[in-house]
Chains A and B, each alone.
Chain A
Amino acid sequence: MDTTQLLKGVLDLAVLAVLREEDGYGYDIMRRLREAGLDEVGDASVYGTLRRLFAAGLLTTYVVPSESGPHRKYYSLNAAGRDQLTRSGKIWRSFATTMDTLLDDRGVTA
């Protein structure tokens, strides 16, 4: 199974998660996702996801002037975003546990 297929379903959650601790701008968020092991995430997917989460009212944005280049648009989780992260996180954990159990029962090794 292709990771990109899986990513499509959970990218929202991943983006919300990397923004929980610290605000970030597009390129920065992408780097955090890669560092976390999501190598195959596409740049455009991250940007598109940020836009969609913002449009859904889960993120707020602010612009920070940068001394080393153009101004950067920072994204931060708002209350609705944190809420969504908690709920989606629970769903994912429960789903992941179910899948792990299913595979363990059938003897599929990790």
Chain B
Amino acid sequence: MTVMEQEIADYVTRVRAALADLRPAVRDELTEDLAEHLAEVAAEGDEPLADRLGTPEAYAAELRAAAGAGGPAAARNLDQRAAAVAASLRARLRVADRNLGPILGYASASEYLRLLRPAWWVLRGYLAAMLITMVTTGASFGLLPRLGGSTLAALLLLAVCVVASVWLGRRTPTLGRWPRIAVRAGTAVLAVFAFAGFVNADDRLGWNESGYQPTSEQVPFVRDVFVYDSEGRLVENARLFDQDGNPIRLGYRECVREGLPESNQGVPAYPYCPEHAPFRSGPVGPRPSPVPPTPAPAPTPTDGPSGGSAPTPSGGTTAGPAPSSAPPPLAPLPTALAPTPVPTSS
């Protein structure tokens, strides 16, 4: 399309937009030779059409008056008003399109976007493959559509979808009305899906980043925690809590222990790997029978949850000696410790 043809098309569009309130048949009749006429006028000289004929809106008003077609104030039904609004909107869009063009280095923005169309077809194929994978396998939005977890299948599916999308893209203009509407609707669904998918994937990326950081930044590289009582014995199944009664999670569960409770209500029990204890040579306490050596703090665990909370407010975290007695009484500890923030905060 030459610049002149573009100018003529724009002029016709704006004249028609200004006549949008007329019955479609009347409007078509009034503007049917307009393009040809403008071509003749344009051939007269290099002057822009608007200089020679006035603005499209003025032209439309003159045409309307001379044809006795009635003014815009004539009774209009809702359809015609909607059509008028839509037409003027389209005309505005065309103007914006042409004004944006030079910024991008093209005659119009749509001309530039048209160049990007094949790229969009490729992206659309990729999104279709991703949607197929997510629907059939329930996978989350990732980078590759791993159908059945296989990379080869992913690449195959990707290739098929991209080729199909490009093929469809090249044929869309030749399709009938309903197939074309179906393609457009499908594309719209993919666009929405893509937006949601990318937002979701981005969120998960952010989560992964923070997930790599250790919970406690002051003590990096903690893999396991070993608690020793006052007599140097390794405390097993120790639970750590902060001032609010929240369990402190450190390290990584590297070894699987059998027979011992892995965690109590989601509270990690330290150490994860007692056999890796750094100070083994000390007076290793008899693990199965630890009750006799520590008689002093015994009342705390034996009192149960109701009595246990009484002594703890003085020092919630200094309950260290108490757990050394035995693993089983520790079970109610989390619940017993939970009330501690209440007295300290009041």
Contact = CB atoms under 8 A, between A and B. Distances in A.
9 contacts: A11-B66, A26-B33, A27-B37, A44-B66, A48-B66, A48-B67, A48-B69, A72-B33, A72-B36
B37 A48 contact: no
A52 B66 contact: yes
A39 interface: no
B36 A44 contact: no
A43 B65 contact: no
Interface string B56-99: 00011111111111000000000000000000000000000000
Interface string B17-56: 0000000000001101111110111000000000001100
Interface in A33-47: 42-47
**Tier of interface size on chain A:** 10 to 19
B23 to A, nearest CB: 13
A9 interface: no
A19 to B, nearest CB: 16
B68 A44 contact: no
A46 B37 CA distance: 11
A73 B67 CA distance: 17
Given A25-B33, A48-B30, A70 B39 contact: yes
Nearest to B29: A51
A60 interface: no
B53 A44 contact: yes
A11 B67 CA distance: 12
Nearest to A27: B40
Contacts of B34: 47
A47 B69 CA distance: 12
A69 B54 CA distance: 24
Nearest to A46: B66
Given A42-B62, A73-B32, A47 B68 contact: no
Contacts of B33: 25-26, 47, 72-73
A78 interface: no
A11 B62 CA distance: 13
B87 to A, nearest CB: 18
Contacts of B62: 42, 44-45, 48
Closest 10 pairs between A and B when the two form their complex, measured CB to CB: A48-B66, A48-B67, A44-B62, A44-B63, A27-B40, A45-B66, A51-B67, A48-B63, A44-B59, A70-B36
A84 interface: no
Contacts of B69: 48, 51
Nearest to A43: B53
Contacts of A27: 36-37, 40-41
B111 to A, nearest CB: 24
A47 B39 contact: no
A72 to B, nearest CB: 7
Nearest to A56: B68
Contacts of B35: 70
B39 A52 contact: no
Contacts of B30: 47-48, 51
A72 B32 CA distance: 10
Contacts of B61: 44
